[in-house]
Amino acid sequence: ECDGRIRNVKIGRYCSVAKHVDIGLPQHPVNWLSICPLQYISNFAGWAHLTGKEVSSKPFAQGVGMTEIGNDVWIGQNSVVLPGVHIGDGAIIGANSVVGSNVEPYTIVIGNPAKVLRKRFDDELINLMLRFKWWDKSIDEIDSLIPLLTCSDLAKVKKELKARL
């Protein structure tokens, strides 16, 4: 988790995050009279000395809530995930996307604003994967699962997951 004064972000296990990605960065408060970041001004040299008081460090995106990235998520280069968004396990965020709303597990989204391209798998396999939660297994278990996790024969994967659950 990141520093709560700036942003509230939780990122799951085994995620792939490309270069130049912004996750849960505070937004300028457009409903304030000024868009100047006055709540952070105490970080600027001399402000506290000039005013004689400290300025609080409230986040820009008050009330937005935690930004959550699930497990095994891939976020493409130059993407932005806005504050308060929840991205489900196994989702893919295409490069250069701006994600302003929640993304369901195992869903691919692209664009600005990000729109659903398609689900990665059918509902049956998605439900199996969400129940199996390979990312919570021990390193040794995950090592033994690599042939299954890298298999493109989805009928075989379903059969194996059903046997393991």
Which residue matches tokens 């040299």?
Answer: 45
Q: Taking the C-alpha atoms of 55, 56, 57 and 62 in order, what is their torsion angle to the nearest 10 degrees? A: -130
Catalytic-residue membership of 28: yes
pLDDT in tens, the chain (165 residues): 444 444 588 999 999 999 999 998 766 667 777 776 665 555 555 555 555 555 444 444 455 678 999 999 999 999 999 989 999 999 999 999 999 999 999 999 999 999 999 999 999 999 999 999 999 999 999 999 999 999 999 999 999 999 999
Structure confidence at residue 33 (pLDDT):
74
What's this model's pTM, rounded to 2 decimal places?
0.80
Structure confidence at residue 1 (pLDDT):
41
